[in-house]
Amino acid sequence: MMNTFNIQPLSHELEAAIQQRLDTRTKPLGSLGSLETIALQVGLIQQTLTPQLKQARIAVFAGDHGAAKAGVGAYPQEVTAQMVMNFLAGGAAINVLAREAGLKIAVVDCGVACEISGAGESSVEYVGAKQGFGTANYLEAPAMSVAQRDAAIAVGARLVRTWHAAGCNAIGFGEMGIGNTSTASLLTHFITGADLDAVIGRGAGLDDAGLARKRGLLARAAARVAGRPLSALDALAEFGGFEVATMVGAYLAAAEARMLIVVDGFIVTSALLVAHAINPAVLDYCVFAHGSAEPGHQAQLTFLGASPLLQLGMRLGEGTGAASAFPLIRAALACMNEMAGFDDAGVSQAH
């Protein structure tokens, strides 16, 4: 199934022409810094000197984790469903930031542990895509079966292909799932080789005692598979969430469709680690929105060789970092498309 994604590495045929356009705008060479880097990347993704974002959206993938009941997080599991309803009502941080950035929102129920009413604010799309009512407790058994993992990946791909067919060419991913920073820590440890304790953070606000308990529980989870070599896909089945697995398919399909992908924080990047293991060319289509305050995020970024646009100390999730970066991306493209050139404006260039 994983071989069905035909992701082409970026063609650099237009790079010289795009760079020349950037260099001949009325500014010193390279003086817009990362905005120029973004404009070049999006121009290469879209293979045009005049790149544009069309029907840009944030997809928030939600799911519950069996391990949450063991106490890996600070909040009870029912908060996942409560926050999904908040998204649908338009009242969460991601709703506010997406509205400010002119982004559509889709909320995807990948495995929330109860039924969700899809009725909500008319501007928020609800997608029912459950693989189950939460994953199994990975302290005792694999979080999901291989069949569930592959079905979730297929659903994520199908969703993105549908949005792309309707005209969307830029997407950011967010997530919601009590306990999913623990999943992200385990995936990061097994895929990057980073020390497990070093990639475990406080999540949604654990105190010192809670952090120590979380570290102990995750060490126990890791010990359950000790001695077994795990591929990224193996690790996803052992420790993943349905929302993370669905995101893996979404990443791969978005890259296949030559869409711009705006990467959020720690949990979203853990899904990217899996997608990258399946096809490294997915990175060509990714802009990394921000550096999360979760300690494991830096290990992920280092492993992927990625530099985030923003350092705001954010650690909320939901896609809030991605939504915060979209206005900068729009600004980068506007500078490329709308700034006068030296010849047009009658401005002398540097000697």
Looking at residue 118, its amino acid is: G
- Predicted local distance difference test score (pLDDT) of residue 252: 98
Select from 50, 53, 43, 34 the least CA-distant residue to 14: 43
Q: Where is 109: in which H helix or E strand?
A: strand 104-111
pTM over 0.85: yes
Instruction: Name the β-bridge partners of 111.
Output: 63
For the chain, the distance separating the N- and C-terminal CA atoms, rounded to the nearest angstrom, is 56
Select from 210, 214, 215 the least CA-distant residue to 195: 215
Tens digit of each residue's pLDDT (9 = 90 or more) over 275-312: 999 999 999 999 999 999 999 999 999 999 999 999 99
Q: What is the DSSP letter of 258?
A: T
- Predicted local distance difference test score (pLDDT) of residue 345: 67
- Predicted local distance difference test score (pLDDT) of residue 126: 94
- What is the distance between the alpha carbons of residues 286 and 41, in angstroms, rounded to a whole number? 9
Tens digit of each residue's pLDDT (9 = 90 or more) over 118-164: 766 678 999 999 999 999 999 999 999 999 999 999 999 999 999 99
Alpha helical stretches, state H, 47-145: 79-89, 93-101
Pick the CATH number of 57-335 from 3.40.50.10210, 3.50.50.60, 3.20.19.10, 3.40.630.10: 3.40.50.10210
Residues of the chain with pLDDT under 50: none
**What is the set of active-site residues?**
318
- Predicted local distance difference test score (pLDDT) of residue 153: 98
- Predicted local distance difference test score (pLDDT) of residue 204: 74
- Predicted local distance difference test score (pLDDT) of residue 75: 80
Domain boundaries, the chain: 57-335
Q: Are 134 and 111 in contact (CB under 8 A)?
A: yes
Phi, psi of 105 (to 5 degrees): -125, 135
